């Protein structure tokens, strides 16, 4: 029984955010309609894994809040169809922010493997981090173009500086990476397309954000796009854990 439990822990750890070929797990959101009409049902899908836009199904116990923020800042409940499928019928015109999070937790590496807990009480610790992962996308209901700049209030967040709905092939999208509500300079941002030029390396680095926390991506083809930012900070109590590990994604579609 002890051996079986150890295998389960290792599987959970591998299915979280451990680097695989130097790439960590990603969390993202997809919708079947980016510009629905008022009252029209939109299907929302939770994406998880290494291969955007479709890879693994996240475990229900690992998924945290999944919600929508309406045009007036009100929080709306999504209808849950399954762990990875939700629905929303937007009640009014405006820009809606859809967001999801992985349930924050600790992951500690030891000489014998990984444990989903802090360092406290664990022998032969190699390192530990607390992960905090967030994802968001936008819905444009009606002809409202403003409201895309509102925050989802996640720890790390990618803010578009232009409404992604307006983007066409060849356009440039500027974004600002925010951490704890402030622009974050010097953080690496990566980009992925649903049909990557190199399937072995679906994520391509754009470089690091400037002093304003901003960076640009050239949208050179239609289809679904993903931006991913990650950031580490020292954990406040080194006896409990070593680092905080944050990731944030933003997805949109170019017609």
The Cα–Cα gap between 130 and 236 comes to 11
Distance of alpha carbon 215 from alpha carbon 47, whole angstroms: 24
- Reported CATH class of domain 2-254: mainly beta
The DSSP secondary structure of 17-78, one letter per residue, reads T--BTTB--EEEEEES-SSPPTT--EEEEEEEESSTTS-BPPPGGGEEEEEEE-TTS-EEPP
Instruction: Going from the first residue of the chain to its last (255 residues), give the mean pLDDT of each consecutive group of 10, the final group possibly shorter.
Output: 44 47 77 94 96 94 95 93 97 95 95 93 95 96 80 94 91 97 97 91 94 96 96 97 98 93
Give the pLDDT score at 124. Answer: 93
pTM for the model = 0.89
Any idea where the domains of the chain sit in the sequence?
2-254
* CA pair distance 228, 48, nearest whole angstrom: 13
Instruction: Calculate the CA dihedral of residues 52, 55, 60, 64 and round it to 10 degrees.
Output: -10
Name the helix (H) or strand (E) containing 144.
none
């Amino acid at each position: 029984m002890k051996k079986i439990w150890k295998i389960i822990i290792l599987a959970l750890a591998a299915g979280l955010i451990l680097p695989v070929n130097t790439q960590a797990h990603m969390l993202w959101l997809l919708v079947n309609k980016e510009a629905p009409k008022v009252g029209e049902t939109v299907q929302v899908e939770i994406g998880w894994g290494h291969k955007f836009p479709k890879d693994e199904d996240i475990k229900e116990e690992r998924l945290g809040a999944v919600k929508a923020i309406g045009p007036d800042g009100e929080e709306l409940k999504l209808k849950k169809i399954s762990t990875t499928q939700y629905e929303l019928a937007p009640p009014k015109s405006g820009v809606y922010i859809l967001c999801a999070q992985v349930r924050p937790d600790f992951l500690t590496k030891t000489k014998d493997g990984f444990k989903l807990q802090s360092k406290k009480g664990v022998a032969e610790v190699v390192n530990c981090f607390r992960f905090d992962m967030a994802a968001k996308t936008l819905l444009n209901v009606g002809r409202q173009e403003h409201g895309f700049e509102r925050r989802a209030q996640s720890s790390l967040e990618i803010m578009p500086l232009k409404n992604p709905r307006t983007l066409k092939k060849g356009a440039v999208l500027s974004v600002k990476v925010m951490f704890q509500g402030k622009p974050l300079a010097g953080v690496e941002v990566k980009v992925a397309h649903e049909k990557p030029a190199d399937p072995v390396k679906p994520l391509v680095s754009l470089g690091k954000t400037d002093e304003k926390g901003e960076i640009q991506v050239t949208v050179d083809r239609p289809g679904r796009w993903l931006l991913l930012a990650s950031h580490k900070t020292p954990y406040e109590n080194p006896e409990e854990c070593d680092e905080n590990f944050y990731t944030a994604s933003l997805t949109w579609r170019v017609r």
